[in-house]
Structure 1
Amino acid sequence: MRLLFLAVLRPHTGNAVTAGRLRDHLEAAGHACILRDAFDFDSPSEIANLIMEENLEAALALHLYRGGRLLQGHGIPFGIIFGGTDLNEDANHREKNEVMGKVLEEARFAVAFTESMKDIAQLQWPHAVGKIFVQSQGVSTIPNDTFNWNTFLECSEIDQSADNLYVFLLICGLRKVKDPLYLVDVFSEWHQEVPSVYMVIVGPEAMDLEVPVLARNIPGNAAVVEHGVTGLLFANPQEFIQLAKRLVSDPALEKEIVANGREYVKRHHSWQVERDTYQRLIRKLETS
């Protein structure tokens, strides 16, 4: 099939990385997947023109509101992948909620990354029960073999001679709730007290690093990080510092969280299972 895949493709965001990976899954099954940025289109009529020009047979959208609303009324089957913004933010706006409900009426299927996301969606739009599937494997992770920590440290200004050096790696997004400067002030104060602690902010990089995870306690993170088991969740910058100090002073806790986190990734974030899931779901879009 010739598929249109709509997603928000701002560089170095989780959406863009996920969309690229899913496109690879679909193309591996023999489909032609035309990936486009949903923000490049203002109305469904522009999508209609693209469908005709590219002779597209079906469509997929990452985000029910941002992408899904552009796919209505074109006469081609489509599926939806829920984004966290759909359920944690857009669903709380009445007009957007109504639009999203109508999109779900027309969609062949909808995919939620976690059970909690599925539960929220079914409460919001009961008529979609039966259409919503859980991608039980969540977000797939692939180790970043191109990143070399030794090279990075050699090129940085970090004082490698410091005893018990600790580096906190912040992998950040662009939305306000993922503000990369959220921790800077309190971390700077800590660094003044303990010069051997550093925070490094990066853009695209790195998943599955086998290091303990400290994540901000927002719904998307809490759905995949179990506090005290696979990582630590903080509600504010002060709590981050408290938990970070605890982690630094408790090697046993660090070891346990790393082991649990690694096992969680192996069980729930399988690249192969994700590929099989989407290749199976896309068959629901094939027309007779």
Structure 2
Amino acid sequence: MPADTTYGSRKEAAVAALAGAENRPGSPKPDAIVVVDGITRRFGGLTAVNVEHVEIQRGAITALIGPNGAGKTTFFNLLTGFDQPNEGEWSFNGTSLKGVPPHKVARMGMVRTFQLTKALSKLTVIENMRLGATGQKGESFFRALFPFLWSAQEKKNTERADELLARFKLDAKREDFAGEMSGGQRKLLEMARALMVGPEMVMLDEPMAGVNPALTQSLLGHIKDLREQGMTVLFVEHDMDMVRDISDWVIVMGQGQVIAEGPPDTVMSDPAVIDAYLGAHHDQALTDSGEAFTSEAPASGGTEDQA
């Protein structure tokens, strides 16, 4: 994969834009594409998400991290219309998304992938790609009877799909069934299909989950390339090395709340973040008498989100 200097211009612009943002939960951003206010999601007596305020910077790669059960995936589902909160407001490009169904959210320019890929296994790769295009005239029953009404559009969609497959190095799989692909290849396919709508913002739910090391670097490069093309990226991840490598800003969730925000290095050294991942006494060891003493060396780590 090319060195980070390939993506330097956009990365430097994102870092510069975020330089004035405060390192605290809910900090305002200079050009927020997504704004969240008071979102709460309860399941019975369990409050899975309780986010007071979050802003996502336009044109930056933002990581959403947190320990197992922190509410990251639930928060993703709320933002993209796959679930609805009990209360709260959130907007994309200044337009409220409250009550907007997922397909309309995607048409507005916010698309997502899933931790478990949603490729249609009985369709070929190119057919999966064509499904990602919006506003297809041939989807109408009446128009479907008259190919001359939609054939030109389908040709254009196919050309766009082939360009993306080549970019993601999946062109050799074009006529293969999606179900025959490896887990990593399906991740690439899902990301490529998401780009068929020409989105402004791409949301990736654990893009590295289940991906073998051979494809990891390829996926990293593609995520960086999204920023280079001017898109905003928000991704859920538990691999801290990946978070340090590609993110411009990090938001940390714990027990459904945002507990920290800031640049990767700042967040990774935040005691609240370390405690959220490993418990308040992660840095203590027991003496022979059973009493704890404090170590100077903090540890870090994480587990995969199941919320």
Question: What is the TM-score when the length of structure 1 is the normalising length?
Answer: 0.31
- Higher share of residues assigned strand: 2
Structure ranking higher on relative contact order (CA contacts 8 Å, 6+ apart): 2
- Higher share of residues assigned helix: 1
Question: What is the TM-score when the length of structure 2 is the normalising length?
Answer: 0.30
